[in-house]
Chains A and B, each alone.
Chain A
Amino acid sequence: MDRTKLKKLGLNLPLLPTTTVGSFPKPPNLMRLRADFAKGKITAEALKKEEENATAFWMETQESLGIDVVVDGEQYRGDMVAYFAEKMGGFEIGDLVRSYGNRYYHKPIIVGEIEWPGPMTVDWWKFASKLTARPVKGMLTGPYTMMDWAFNEFYPDRHSACLALAREIRKEVVALLEAGAKIVQVDEPAISVRVEELPWVIEAMHLVTDGLPAYFLTHICYGAFEYVYPKVLEMPVDNIDLDMSLTASRRLPLMQANPFSKDISYGVVDVHSHEVEDAATVRDRLRRALEVLEPEQIWVDPDCGLKTRSVDEAIEKMRVVVEATREFRSELVRNARPV
């Protein structure tokens, strides 16, 4: 809510910083090469080269759009759980299960002791950081979501699986910080699945973040937020990233009743619709946000990762986020709101 921590970390961000949640769509050429790689037609080196090309494309795109805090775009990941499960010890990758509609993912199976294999995202963070002067977020999936979105055939219960994951994910955070990352996002979209387990989510996040010198965010989306609020404010992070574009009418009254005590990354565009919102719609959403939240605590972004959109849709959605935020920022300054 104040900028002290950001400033201590050397981060001087504008009012209403813009960012994105993490993933971008993979360009068609990369999709083709991923399929070729799966069929054994190309080498891992050839695939990696194209992943680097795609990452460079998205870094340049974010730069040209003027996103304030950027991401590497996760061009090298299949999905947010399987990517880590494929690398960490103790997992086996299961066959496809449905996420929603016509979307599927490989759901991992915990079959042994979870082990950090060494840095999993650090080289990509470094690759992306070399291409920009803007802060690049380190992007990880949180222990509770990793546990909940995997089958467990090894640990005696969900709690012990969750804490085992937290201890290993902390090692990846430390590796990112050693590489120079100052902002790390640890996503917990599964946070609201079992309200009675919310204390474990918080306990696990303490294991991940306690005592580490970084600005931490967590992304939460498409869940029963009303069941975890305001307890979720006990998460040991600085910023909670929420899908708000379609849910503000239900969530803002909750935040009015129990003030939102952290920074918020406020989702203003729907990532599951092909339609690109116009700037007026986004400005209206921000205006509603400011009826309840302070401008200093708001970051602005899409509701979720943009990987389910086409490349053009993703760019246009980001463009409207940036343009509407800039206009709104100017409006705030003109109206001499406390900034």
Chain B
Amino acid sequence: MRLITTSSGSYPRIGATPELHLLRQTITQRDSGKKTDADVAAAEDALTRAAIAEQISSGLDLVTDGQIRWYDPISHLAGKLENVSVNGLLRFFDTNFYLRQPVVHGPVVWARPVLRPEYEMASKASAKPVKPVLTGAYTLARHSIIEYPPYQKEFARLVLDYNEAIVKEVSELAAAGATVIQIDEPSILKEPSHADWDLLEETWNKLSAAKGKARLVLATYFGDATPVLHHLLSMPADVVALDFTYNPRLVDQVADSKPAKPLGFGLLDGRNTKLDDPAAVLSALDRMLPKIRASECYLNPSSGLEYLPRDRALAKLKHLAGIRNRIN
């Protein structure tokens, strides 16, 4: 079994040194009229290169662009769709990070590629493959304020229309050469008993049809996956990435279910500075890996890393690569 080390999405866009304050300073100066949008874009490029360089130096096999350009996981995509505006702040799950909530005024329509240019820039800057990470339609819809009556009457219709936009993004990314594309659906775990699995399967069938040769990862986090594990594993995704930090029983449940597809093991807590006990991580992997009927799996933090200070995020990735090296 080959274990591929990867990031889960975001990476800190600030750090202790002056050069790592570039983006923050440039946005502040742009807002006061002293810099331009082009200056901000250049600063985003610089911080994206820094995020990629740190991931590679940590020993990761598959990196992300760190989502450096993202205002938050919801409005970066939703806010660029037609008939969607951006409203006030809302806490993102149980983090102390806040997003801008989309307001849906009319039919959601994809307007232009959002992630393809970001992916292309990151790919050129990286010596390792880059995994684009998107937020899925269900999570976008769950975080939206719905003011369009047809969607108020039928929530599923909003999910499907958001999904059409995500399908377009996936198609663009696959055409640009992405080999692994991750779709985040943390909202599934927020109220798992309310999840509409038929609807989710329909969205994933459409995503799968658009992915070309890319491998699609369904990622869930910020919640306990044990009540819905069998549903998650039966979704038409190529890989299922799980957050193991909410319920220790998930390890044995995964082993018992003998998954037939690769998994992403979110065994290192992406939300706490404390470095995870390597013996505990290795023990969990020892219990699960022999039961998985796939030739390779992924080892990753349980979530994106922008919830950690940069020095701790880097330490976490190095720790992750170190643990992998004791296995492969």
Query: Which A residues contact B (CB, under 8 angstroms)?
Result: 94-102, 104, 107, 109, 148-149, 151-153, 190, 192-194, 222-224, 246-247, 270, 272-273
Contact = CB atoms under 8 A, between A and B. Distances in A.
A194 B273 contact: no
Contact of A97 (B71, B90, B93, B308): B308
A193 B24 contact: no
B273 A151 contact: yes
Given A94-B273, A153-B273, A272-B88, A100 B309 contact: no
B97 A100 contact: yes
B28 interface: yes
Nearest to B190: A224
Contact of B14 (A96, A149, A152): A96
Interface string B258-277: 00000000000000111000
Interface size bracket, B side:
35 or more
A95 B15 contact: yes
Interface of B: 12-16, 23-24, 27-28, 31, 71-72, 87-91, 93-100, 272-274, 306-312
A102 B272 CA distance: 22
B96 A94 contact: no
A151 B309 CA distance: 10
Given A100-B72, A148-B96, A95 B311 contact: yes
Contacts of B310: 95-96
A99 B14 contact: no
A103 B175 CA distance: 35
B313 to A, nearest CB: 9
B16 A97 contact: no
B94 A193 contact: yes
B309 A95 contact: yes
Contacts of B87: 246
A273 B272 CA distance: 31
B interface secondary structure, majority: loop
Contacts of A246: 87-88
19 contacts: A95-B15, A95-B312, A96-B309, A98-B14, A99-B98, A100-B72, A100-B97, A100-B98, A102-B23, A102-B24, A104-B24, A148-B96, A149-B96, A151-B273, A153-B273, A192-B91, A193-B91, A222-B90, A222-B91
Contacts of B272: 151-153
Nearest to A95: B309
A272 B24 contact: no
Contacts of B307: 97
Given A95-B15, A97-B309, 7 more contacts: A97-B12, A98-B12, A100-B72, A104-B14, A151-B272, A153-B273, A223-B91
A151 B99 CA distance: 21
A95 B91 contact: no
Contacts of A96: 12, 14-16, 309-310
Nearest to B274: A153
B91 A98 contact: no
B24 A99 contact: no
Given A95-B15, A99-B97, A222 B89 contact: yes
A270 B16 contact: no
B91 A224 contact: yes
A109 B27 CA distance: 28
B202 to A, nearest CB: 27
A193 B97 CA distance: 11
Contacts of B90: 222-223
